[in-house]
A and B are shown apart, each in its own frame.
Chain A
Amino acid sequence: MNALLEGSLAAVLDFAPPLLLAALGGVLSERSGVVNIGLEGMMRVGAFAAACGAYFTGSPWLGLLCGALAGGLTAAVHALLSLRYRADQVVSGIALNLVALGLITFLLETVFGSAGVSPPVPSLPRDAFGHTALSYAALAAPVALHLFLQHTAAGLRIRAVGEHPRAAATLGVRVLRLRALCVLGSGLFAGLGGGALSVGILGQFDSRMPAGAGFMALAAVVFGKWTPLGAGAAALFFAFADALQRQLGFALHAADLHLEGVFLALPYALTLAVLALGIGRTRAPAADGVPYEQEGR
């Protein structure tokens, strides 16, 4: 049992970064008042761009940068549509997921000539314990985002804009611009998370990526009550459940028990339970998803 736990804990550091980074992206966007269902698509674009970047430059770090930028670019579409053209934020996010699904498969085939997986690409170097620098950075990221939101002027404004945009506007805060920046930041995070999947973990792009990690990140945002630390902890917990499931998987299969689905469903079911039972006053930012109309005077 001890070995099992140890194995799982070690694996968490591997599996957590994509989830963690995407969840923080979700927190940033939703705290500013823009729902981001498109995390999954942004991760997918990021994962592919990171693989491409690493493949063509030979540097996994440049690959990660490409991933983040591509995620940001995808987010820019979301910001443009939902903020400037007032498309429904949920619809825009869903549409982006669909586009990412089709587009990336298409590009994968075009660039690498395979609809399944990319060729192996340079992946991030690992330290003596087998972890990448990105893993450690991802662990620090929730704290950084927390400090940013709580201790900087921009953070204060973001929190205000997600709750009561009109109040912030009367004090001179430019609501739409700030929201757009947060959506872009959210895309950078998600794209980086995608890069963590392809360049960080697997060392190649798989056409099934991110396989629901974006949605699980969304669940982590809700489970973590829309706070960076909460979402970070939730992402770690979900990653742990996932790792445990993988570790247990072999044992269970040997006993002819097929329970991995129960483990995999657990994060979502728990999040739902937290919402349903209202444990510890779970509440989305008040203006989350509510379009802001500037005064036309």
Chain B
Amino acid sequence: MADLRARLFAPARDPLWAALLAIGASLLLCFLAILATGKDPIAGYGWMADGALGGLRPLGETALKGGVLILTGLSVAVAFSVGLFNIGAEGQLIWGALAAAVVGRALDLPAPLLIPAALGAAALAGGLWALIPALLKVGRGVHEVISTILLNWVAIHLVHGWLVSGPLAARTGGEHVSVAGTAPIRAAAHLPRLLPEGRLDLGLPLALLCALAVWAIFRHARKGFEWRAVGASAEAARASGIPVGRRICEAMFLSGALAGLAGSLLILGTEHRYPGVFRTGYGFDGIAVALVGASSAPGVVLAGLFFGAIRAGATRLQLVDIHPSFAELIQGLTVLLVAAPRLFAKLLSKLRGKARAATETGGAP
């Protein structure tokens, strides 16, 4: 798994173009798919644009979802930096969300203290959960892809099938309402909304702050440099005296903390409790965001906002009888295409060859 980043991103000589090309191609394919089913793609895409960008409220939705996606994208990107593929952002997000819901309920503090406490608890919970695969990797050589997948499901089932429906479930007058999830958090724990209209809250600025911090760590901190060295070649890093195992654990903790924060944004910002069923898919989407964003902080911000817009806009697709999960199709296709840059390279060179042939034959007479 050494040099994971190089394997993922090196074939794309220009990650920005690779991403734009993949996004364009995937939007086109989806357009054709809608067309093929006899629905109106132009209206569909129009509604999507409207739902994502048409006014303050839609923009707020885009920013809200974008903020969460930026955090899970950063989570995956930070793990990439040490050469680990963290597929466990979903599980880390769940623990973070639960921690935020519990702290936001349990502590009786004013907002300026309660919100940071809830956020901190979420980061800690996500970070600790991510430390498990890191320790297994360093200590026992367990591949992180396998362990994080397994841990996702452990988290999903433990939280939903036990904690939230059992010990932490809300009780109203002795009556059990397991589907409702945990008791609501205190009003002081609600993330303040930033706009008079719509649901945009402190989440996006927080996510951008985190992106800035990650960018600064990668670019300016010695530790970030050492992480990247470990990711580029663990052997070389070890030979130059870097404690590789420790760096892996640090980066994975941060990775999990970011995913945990993403979970807390959902709870403190919009849900205001841990719902009985809470399968958001944001954790998995973080992988898409990190890949499309070429695993750099600015790239993740852009990709996060883009996919946030798709998610926000896709809810309007219902107006043309298309389920909002169409967003997953767009995302999946984009990742599929980003993952195979050689496919594009080949296509491009073919097109270029054809163009050249065309000009040659055109210029011959």
Contact between chain A and chain B defined by CB under 8 Å: yes
Which residues of A line the B interface, CB within 8 A?
Answer: 35, 37, 77, 81, 85-88, 90-92, 94-103, 105-106, 108-110, 115, 212, 215-216, 218-219, 222, 256-265, 268-269, 271-272, 275-276, 278, 284, 289, 291
Are B336 and A90 in contact, CB atoms less than 8 angstroms apart?
no
Cβ-based interface call for B154 (8 A): yes
Are B340 and A260 in contact, CB atoms less than 8 angstroms apart?
no
Are B147 and A272 in contact, CB atoms less than 8 angstroms apart?
yes
Are B325 and A96 in contact, CB atoms less than 8 angstroms apart?
no
Are A276 and B142 in contact, CB atoms less than 8 angstroms apart?
yes
Are B161 and A260 in contact, CB atoms less than 8 angstroms apart?
yes
Of B185-193, B237-245, B267-275, B284-292, which binds chain A? B284-292
Are A99 and B336 in contact, CB atoms less than 8 angstroms apart?
yes
Closest chain A residue to B143 by CB distance?
A284
Interface-central residue, B33, B149, B336, B339, by most chain A CB under 10 Å: B339
B7 surroundings in chain A (CB, below 8 A)? 88, 291
Of B51-59, B95-103, B113-121, B163-171, which binds chain A? B163-171
Cβ-based interface call for B146 (8 A): yes
Cβ-based interface call for B178 (8 A): yes
Complex Cα gap A125–B196 (Å): 59
Cβ-based interface call for B354 (8 A): no
Complex Cα gap A28–B285 (Å): 28
In whole Å, how far is A110's beta carbon from the nearest beta carbon of chain B? 4
Are A105 and B325 in contact, CB atoms less than 8 angstroms apart?
yes
Partner of B162, one of A87, A100, A258: A258
A222 surroundings in chain B (CB, below 8 A)? 146, 150
Partner of A219, one of B150, B159, B322, B336: B150
Cβ-based interface call for B321 (8 A): yes
Closest chain B residue to A288 by CB distance?
B143
B329 surroundings in chain A (CB, below 8 A)? 98-99, 101-103, 106
Closest chain B residue to A261 by CB distance?
B161
Partner of B8, one of A37, A88, A265: A88
Are A262 and B158 in contact, CB atoms less than 8 angstroms apart?
yes
Complex Cα gap A90–B146 (Å): 10
Closest chain B residue to A41 by CB distance?
B332
Cβ-based interface call for B359 (8 A): no
**B interface residue count range (under 10 / 10 to 19 / 20 to 34 / 35 or more):** 35 or more
A276 surroundings in chain B (CB, below 8 A)? 136, 140, 142
Are B339 and A268 in contact, CB atoms less than 8 angstroms apart?
no
Are A218 and B162 in contact, CB atoms less than 8 angstroms apart?
no
Complex Cα gap A240–B149 (Å): 21
Are B153 and A102 in contact, CB atoms less than 8 angstroms apart?
no
Complex Cα gap A270–B330 (Å): 35
A37 surroundings in chain B (CB, below 8 A)? 87, 145, 149
Are A256 and B136 in contact, CB atoms less than 8 angstroms apart?
no
A218 surroundings in chain B (CB, below 8 A)? 146, 149
B8 surroundings in chain A (CB, below 8 A)? 88, 91
In whole Å, how far is A234's beta carbon from the nearest beta carbon of chain B? 13
B129 surroundings in chain A (CB, below 8 A)? none
Are A106 and B335 in contact, CB atoms less than 8 angstroms apart?
no
Partner of A259, one of B159, B162, B287, B342: B162
Complex Cα gap A5–B129 (Å): 34
In whole Å, how far is B322's beta carbon from the nearest beta carbon of chain A? 7
In whole Å, how far is B308's beta carbon from the nearest beta carbon of chain A? 16
Known A268-B151, A275-B140: A106·B332 in contact at CB below 8 Å:
no
In whole Å, how far is B41's beta carbon from the nearest beta carbon of chain A? 12
Contact with A along B76-87 (1 / 0, CB 8 A): 000000000101
Are B335 and A95 in contact, CB atoms less than 8 angstroms apart?
yes
Known A259-B166, A261-B161, A261-B162: A275·B146 in contact at CB below 8 Å:
yes
Are A101 and B343 in contact, CB atoms less than 8 angstroms apart?
no
In whole Å, how far is B323's beta carbon from the nearest beta carbon of chain A? 4
Complex Cα gap A110–B39 (Å): 9
Complex Cα gap A284–B144 (Å): 13
Known A86-B342, A88-B7: A99·B166 in contact at CB below 8 Å:
no
Known A212-B153, A258-B166: A101·B325 in contact at CB below 8 Å:
yes
Closest chain A residue to B140 by CB distance?
A276
